[in-house]
Structure 1
């Protein structure tokens, strides 16, 4: 008998001894980081709401209780009983029964009413029908991405269970080494922005944190995967994704091409956004005549291996590593990732991309950890002069630009990242029109912006508290304002907009590296009455950075596939303060307010001067050992 099987036998005996004699345990399994307990008495389990909590606390494991399939009531009977228990105002839109696991997935407009206070309604459902309820939100804005991901995972349930059981056995396997050390290898994003990728290693475990591309680079974008991982991808135990932006997530599917077959830990909204952005990444590559590094099948494979975690959940992901996600304040579902290694041996946190203060969309990044010896910290705006404008001042400047352009009869074109900045702009513009600060006019959303917005409204618990309340408690969803128009008519609709009256155009891509923004440059670029407004970071080498720096003649692949030079006559403005990244002050404060502060900080994800400036200042101000590493360096911390 293997160690894992012996563990499960021992756990089954312990659980049985702790339960009342009239509650049976028929089987105990690991599924990913969770311990799944099967019972013939699910209704009795549900009547005692403290049982699972006490067991989880005693065993220090996440526990799910499922009924044996042969004790379940029939789905048609259970459906009626479940709907009798759930308040009608919860807005149940679907019930999906899975007899193999005894779970019923309940989709509702107001999941909180299905859950009930402290899970009371869920327990009542199990008491009535025996089925284990799982609750998901009905998107307030229909999202093809959310629907497709949920349907795909439903179709792949059998494969996913096999994957989860395999992962569970890997997490709880016997430790194989008596050595104790911790290493971090920098695969990308050091003294550069983009290509985020790190390996966290112990004698037992190799964990990959992020695996992104580099926007605006002419290099082979997946060099670090081929050179640093290659056939070694199969030796990785887990992948952890901080957020969905392509400079962090684009190349994760490539790992499966190189033999990786393990879990991807991230938040639920990041999982959905990851799929959306990766498929678009392939689509853009095909349209530009480039050979994509992987096929769409690999995107689906990555989704199938994803294990979503919530903020604050401490989760075993290896025999010697626990992972906890915390809000990073950057984009929907973005996470600061905290790793607790060994039995109190060492703690490492990766900031990913962070925004330290509250924005209209998100609460500020969390930096409250029991322990962190080493922090890997982003430095995008870490330069000594990288202070962003106050958000209120930024909003006033944006409104001024919009008003001035409107008075001239022009159009405002805003290149925006589909995820994060676009929704921030939507909130600012909606409120400004509602308050009469700018004239009411159409706001056209092009590219993936509408779909990304739909995903935001599916996961309101990841949004700023007051915004979440507006969407679901006051029926005042600002994203559904009548001014917003989803461009879905292609080039013909863009031409109509260009020929029409004043308007605001939000379009991907945010760094002007392709996508529909190129079409808007052709339509609106020659108009001296119009304005292009940059509201997000423009990486070195991107067309956005060149236009921002004053280029007024730009190469463009015109309609019909002909290369030409486009003369830009429109005004170009930059409005700082809307970035999803902390500025210099925010990064310094993130470290300053940590208690206890880390012993070491690696400054990454910034150009050379930014990482070195931030590293020097953190050392001088806080007496912390700091580094501005290069790519492919390895640091040993223990």
Structure 2
């Protein structure tokens, strides 16, 4: 059946379901969604459960879009008339591509109304579909720029979504049934994550990252015959925004990929921010950048965002569902349902199976699961992390000791995830008088990353959301935090009073941390505290191993006299005990587990231990291997 016939059949089915008086003018696949166009959006709004009924009966993601949209200026006036003033509307963002209006408000509940009555009234009055979000406590320039850019390319994006929609819903042609996974990176190593899922009908790439600290061999094997040409891919799925998983996604577009990239909304925004910064760092170090900001824009234009738990068709025979991975904001375990109940496979990306100050633990229960690719960063038998509270106490002790002797504390941290965990711990330490009152300077992208965290509070754990929005105590806005936004201020921090500096990059692979290390490294009163994993080959790992002189260019050397400390326990990764515990709690228990994203000895050790304890078939794959699942 051709797409046009399939759409006509769906239109006839819809007309049988919707009440008389509602006219369906057209239906169209746009990306993974079935869009219903109507002249009667107000009647749809009166039928509160109609869209749910359509989605259930048609087994599609349904969006209703009016043929004619109210002028945004007039629509904005209507919204402010309908919504009570105490809702505190701060911004309205109209998206003609989707027919949606994003309403930012200090009190979203007031905009929604009891049982959604106010939202339905908005739709009746203006036709636009309202979506409500809480006004971010910290404004993010990244989020605003992405929304503005997407609005500027709405016509191109609509054409793209229709093209992808038709590709997703094409007829299957093969009578064979098989599933293969090819390892293109991230096996028996940390970094350059990339895995290819192949069926007779489809190809999907999971992640495309760089390898930290490795310029010679830092790119996944994206040139091999299994994946090439890149326009043969149906989709790219991005588990989270750290560079070892997302840095080279724009490179795919440079070399011919034209399809969608699926991620959660925070992952899209954070990855674009980090990719642009990655280009700046690479440009300063080598003058050879792998792609330009134009490819980052192309990635954003081709992005399709999904929330946790939303089952979505991404190819004729593949459905994708994201689940919370507990690692960083928006991080996801990607679960793939292959065929009509044929096979289920999941990729954890990086995950954390414990509750942290920011996130709930990773999801361990799935409808079905036959195979799992799981990270093994701390998979070695001795990789036991201390409890988070113990780690925080050690951090307080190290900071207090350094401040008492008149020194400064440098904490290199990833802008996304680790920085926010450390910020929250230090804020509480000052508030509860566990460390002296001290200025905490944030350098690099940490402030902007934090702003994106506050843009998506639904991805934070309940305790932190309640603290920020119900108790009115937002730790991210504490007076102790000062953003370093100029070279002059950085110089003042270096020459000024004892303080704490949280700065990028987390593995000392460039960024502002190098300036602090150069200036403060020779003074033994200062302290450098590692709070995250340092990959082999990075400057951070070398300093951990005891290097005391660091070459900087041809003639310059950084002298390391300051005290070095490693405070384990802040990692966004599960340790050995949690990894084994995760397997124990998996529901259902998979038939096969592949241990990836870890040093060679750790992935082998973890695979062996899982087999011995749980009698599950395990593999510690190498790069460039292909496994047939069925």
**TM-score of the superposition, structure 1-length normalised?**
0.96
Q: Look up the match of 1:498.
A: 494
1:510 to 503, 506, 509: 506
2:229 match: secondary structure: helix
Q: Look up the match of 1:182.
A: 179
Contact 1:185 1:632 (C-alpha < 8 Å) held by counterparts: yes
Q: Look up the match of 1:435.
A: 432
**Shift of the alpha carbon at 1:372?**
0.8
Task: Say yes or no: does 1:5 pair with 2:7.
Answer: no
Distance of 1:247 and 1:380 partners within structure 2: 13
Distance of 1:102 and 1:447 partners within structure 2: 36
1:405 to 402, 405, 416: 402
Output aligned runs, 1:350-361, within 5 Å. Answer: 350-361=347-358
Distance of 2:265 and 2:100 partners within structure 1: 19
Distance of 2:193 and 2:199 partners within structure 1: 20
Q: Look up the match of 1:384.
A: 381
**Shift of the alpha carbon at 1:76?**
4.0
Do the aligned partners of residues 113 and 186 (structure 1) sit closer, same or farther apart at CA in structure 2, a change above 3 Å counting? farther
Task: Say yes or no: does 1:124 pair with 2:121.
Answer: yes
Do the aligned partners of residues 567 and 75 (structure 1) sit closer, same or farther apart at CA in structure 2, a change above 3 Å counting? closer
Output aligned runs, 1:91-490, within 5 Å. Answer: 91-97=88-94, 102-227=99-224, 231-490=228-487
**Shift of the alpha carbon at 1:40?**
1.1
Output aligned runs, 1:6-21, within 5 Å. Answer: 6-21=5-20
**Shift of the alpha carbon at 1:596?**
1.7
**Shift of the alpha carbon at 1:395?**
0.6
Q: Look up the match of 1:78.
A: 75
Distance of 1:621 and 1:313 partners within structure 2: 33
**Shift of the alpha carbon at 1:529?**
0.8
Task: Say yes or no: does 1:609 pair with 2:613.
Answer: no
Contact 2:97 2:154 (C-alpha < 8 Å) held by counterparts: no
Distance of 2:284 and 2:115 partners within structure 1: 50
Contact 2:157 2:302 (C-alpha < 8 Å) held by counterparts: yes
Distance of 2:516 and 2:225 partners within structure 1: 39
Range with bigger deviation, 140-149 or 619-628: 140-149
**Shift of the alpha carbon at 1:91?**
2.2
**Shift of the alpha carbon at 1:80?**
2.4
Q: Look up the match of 1:46.
A: 45
Distance of 1:43 and 1:609 partners within structure 2: 61
Distance of 1:353 and 1:105 partners within structure 2: 31
Distance of 2:78 and 2:621 partners within structure 1: 60
Distance of 1:364 and 1:403 partners within structure 2: 31
**Shift of the alpha carbon at 1:117?**
4.8
Distance of 2:453 and 2:160 partners within structure 1: 28
Distance of 1:422 and 1:159 partners within structure 2: 37
Give the paired residue count: 630
Distance of 2:559 and 2:37 partners within structure 1: 68
1:404 match: secondary structure: helix
**Shift of the alpha carbon at 1:7?**
1.3
List per-residue Cα deviations over 1:211-239 (Å, max 9, x = no partner): 00000113242252234677421111000
**Shift of the alpha carbon at 1:249?**
0.3
Do the aligned partners of residues 521 and 261 (structure 1) sit closer, same or farther apart at CA in structure 2, a change above 3 Å counting? same
Distance of 1:355 and 1:157 partners within structure 2: 37
Distance of 2:299 and 2:73 partners within structure 1: 34
Task: Say yes or no: does 1:599 pair with 2:559.
Answer: no
**TM-score of the superposition, structure 2-length normalised?**
0.97
Contact 2:79 2:122 (C-alpha < 8 Å) held by counterparts: yes
Distance of 1:201 and 1:399 partners within structure 2: 49
Distance of 1:444 and 1:320 partners within structure 2: 50
Task: Say yes or no: does 1:554 pair with 2:550.
Answer: yes
Contact 1:222 1:293 (C-alpha < 8 Å) held by counterparts: no
2:279 match: secondary structure: helix
Contact 1:187 1:228 (C-alpha < 8 Å) held by counterparts: no
Q: Look up the match of 1:58.
A: 57
List per-residue Cα deviations over 1:532-565 (Å, max 9, x = no partner): 10000000010100111111111124xxxx6412
Distance of 2:181 and 2:98 partners within structure 1: 39
1:579 to 563, 568, 571: 571
1:621 match: secondary structure: helix
**Shift of the alpha carbon at 1:138?**
3.6
2:356 match: secondary structure: coil
**Shift of the alpha carbon at 1:472?**
2.1
Unaligned runs of 5+ in 2: none
Do the aligned partners of residues 614 and 209 (structure 1) sit closer, same or farther apart at CA in structure 2, a change above 3 Å counting? same
Do the aligned partners of residues 319 and 100 (structure 1) sit closer, same or farther apart at CA in structure 2, a change above 3 Å counting? closer
Contact 1:375 1:598 (C-alpha < 8 Å) held by counterparts: yes
Q: Look up the match of 2:521.
A: 525
List per-residue Cα deviations over 1:228-282 (Å, max 9, x = no partner): 6774211110000000000000110111111110110000000000100000010
Task: Say yes or no: does 1:539 pair with 2:531.
Answer: no
Contact 2:610 2:618 (C-alpha < 8 Å) held by counterparts: yes
**Shift of the alpha carbon at 1:16?**
0.8
2:207 match: secondary structure: strand
Do the aligned partners of residues 218 and 94 (structure 1) sit closer, same or farther apart at CA in structure 2, a change above 3 Å counting? closer
Distance of 1:593 and 1:102 partners within structure 2: 42
Contact 1:413 1:532 (C-alpha < 8 Å) held by counterparts: yes
Task: Say yes or no: does 1:620 pair with 2:617.
Answer: no
